[in-house]
Chain A
Amino acid sequence: MFPLLPDYALSAASSAQYALDVLGKDKCALIWQNDELGRRAKFGLDLVLSSRKKTILTDVSFDVATTDLSAQIQRVSAAGAEVVLLFGSNAHLASALRSAARISWKGTWFAPFFTADPSTYELTGDLLDGVYFSSWLLPLDADRPAIEAYRAVVPKYYPNDKLGVFGLNGWTGASLFAVAFERLLSSGKEPTRENLIAVMNTIDGVSAGAADKITFTAGDHRGTRQEVMIRAEAGKFRLVRDFSPYPQVVFDAVSK
């Protein structure tokens, strides 16, 4: 297994780090989906904050099937949060933004990478403007050639598929495979399973698809090691900070 999708603990930690160091806000609250996604985010956020002698201001969970998050928003608002990390689907993000607008709560939002998707804008309208996404993938609108290729190829071969983060995710995985396979072919070795695995384990700081600095070694398969920060602005997803390593404490804590 050579996974690219990073543990959500890492994304949550990166988000918190950005809020603390770049935005200078330290009252972080977490709204999390009560499954593996949310639990990992809580783990990562707890770890990065406690490493800096801080704690989560408050955290509230919700069930996947929940559609109304106003109770959760009331809680984080009453606790005086400046920053809210929401770890759930884009529907939950949309619902949370709406609830916040209803009670006129204004703060900074962070959401997982897969919500930095045009479909989220369709749900939220301009409420999404200003939301941050810590993402292991460059934004869909970025001008890197690999992403331009994705934007060009998909409408050509799959005219019914919408461009989106999930597509870019798959594109990136396939790109990495292509990189490894080319290396294998140019090395002149037999294209066997063992040899491919050996080549994959030499991937070091490679950029593929929309991801960057991918590294695998024989004993360490935490492929993704850096994330960018994306901000939703006027219907687009803009890169506000380039690839930067994950907070070390959390990176050490996630399993290899």
Chain B
Amino acid sequence: MSEPSTTALPADRTRRSAVRIDDRMLSIGTVLLLGLLPIWIGSFWLYSISLLLAQGIAILSVSFLIRYSGEVSIGHNFFVATGAYTIALLQNGPNVPFLGGVVVATAVSAAVGLLFAWPSRTLSGVYLSVVTLALGLCVPEVLLYWSEVTGGFEGLFVESRIVGGVASGLQQYYVALAALCIATFVAHRFRGSRLGLMILTARDHPHAAAAFGMTSGSARLSAFAVSAAIAGFGGSILGFTTSMVSPNSFIFWNSVTLLVGAVVSLYSTRIYGVVVGAAFVTLVPQLLSNYGQFILIIYGLALLGVIIVFNVTVPAIVRRVRRRRNHRV
């Protein structure tokens, strides 16, 4: 949370390795389980879980941002929409194939993210958070204002088959699963990469990082751009799994959902964590579809509760345990 387990400092190898195997086993187990799941479930759940997986990528992008720059975004629906509409427009216009569309969508989102974060690069994080609020709110109005391009309320159709002969439901499912695997893999490995280490150093030890030429401003810009790229990637997959894009799927509320998912997943970059967060925000509205107000309250309690438990309660317990142990010694 405020002190994510990812730090720029080299970790204690001996203690970490045991934990690491557990993490890896859990990840592999999750992927295997998800891979076999279509054997047992019907088409409704297949579709729901496809959406959940695509949503997971977007949740990952929010977690990534919080982890690497300490910024909260409530405007990531903008980048998800950028990715989704980019792929839809590329398909409907120049008829670009799916994979090409995904690559372009990811790149465009990264560029838009960079552009957006640029003015606040030297300011404190609160400014960025507040401006993301406006970013999140303006998505539907922009899409509706330029209806000739975006298809207005009805939106645009997205081709949901890549290869012939396989049911589109299954294709949507496995594409979403593969995409989530790729996204979590990249996000997780990012920590060890040169850029990742620089960003983390700039976050924790700004002066040291500045000596390497990474100011905290440019570190924040990089983190934001990567996060926007992940969100755009997720958006293009979301467009594929829903086989259409329309303004209603990218309202401000979706950003709130993404943040709740990220917090519930404890900003995890592991696939099992992301799936838990995504499952929470997918299942709660489905179970409580007739009680809209309770969804708000449950989401609010989840944000508040998780934050307080992991920032106040857990550290307090840890402190007490440590103190007791010291006494005994």
Q: Which residues of A contact B144 (CB under 8 A)?
A: 34, 63
Counting CB contacts under 8 A, is A35 at the interface?
yes
Q: Does B141 contact A (CB under 8 A)?
A: yes
Is the CB–CB distance between A35 and B141 below 8 Å? no
- The distance from the CB of A171 to the nearest CB of chain B, in whole angstroms, is 26
5 A-B pairs whose Cβ atoms sit less than 8 Å apart in the complex: A34-B144, A35-B153, A63-B140, A63-B141, A63-B144
What residues of B have a CB within 8 angstroms of the CB of A35 in the complex?
153
Smallest distance from the beta carbon of A62 to chain B beta carbons, Å?
11
**Which residue numbers of B lie inside 8 Å of A, CB to CB?**
140-141, 144, 153
**Shortest Cβ distance from A66 into B: residue:** B141
**From B147, which residue of chain A is reached at the shortest CB distance?**
A34
Closest to B141 in A: A63
Main secondary structure of the interface of B (DSSP, over half): helix
A181 shortest CB reach to chain B, Å: 33
The 5 closest A-B pairs by CB, nearest first: A63-B141, A35-B153, A34-B144, A63-B144, A63-B140
Which residues on the B side are within 8 Å of A63 (C-beta)? 140-141, 144
Q: How far is the CA of A63 from the CA of B145 in the complex (A)?
A: 10
Return chain A residues, CB-CB under 8 Å to B141: 63
Nearest residue, chain A, Cβ from B153: A35
From A34, which residue of chain B is reached at the shortest CB distance?
B144
The complex places the Cα of A63 from the Cα of B141 at a distance, in Å, of 8
Instruction: Tell me the nearest residue of chain A to B251, going by C-beta.
Output: A65
How many Å from the CB of A195 to the closest CB on chain B?
37
Tell me the minimal C-beta distance from A43 to chain B in angstroms: 15
Interface membership of chain A positions 20-53, coded 1 if the CB is closer than 8 angstroms to chain B and 0 otherwise: 0000000000000011000000000000000000
Residues of A within 8 A of B153 (CB): 35
In the bound complex, residues from chain B placing their C-beta under 8 Å from that of A34 are 144
Q: How far is A63 from B252 in the complex, measured between Cα atoms in Å?
A: 15
How many angstroms between the C-alpha atoms of A63 and B153 in the bound complex? 11
Closest to B252 in A: A65
In angstroms, Cα B154 to Cα A35, docked, is 11
| Complex alpha-carbon distance, A63 and B140, angstroms | 10
Interface bits A80-105 vs B (CB < 8 Å: 1, else 0): 00000000000000000000000000
Write the nearest CB–CB distance from B253 to chain A, whole angstroms: 11
Q: Nearest Cβ distance between residue A110 and chain B, in whole angstroms? A: 25
Min Cβ gap B53→A in Å is: 30
Interface string of A54-79 (1 = CB under 8 A from B): 00000000010000000000000000
Shortest beta-carbon distance, B152 to chain A, in Å? 9
| Cα–Cα, bound, A254→B35 (Å) | 52
CA distance A34 to B153 in the complex (A): 10
Complex interface bits, A115-152 against B, C-beta within 8 A gives 1, otherwise 0: 00000000000000000000000000000000000000
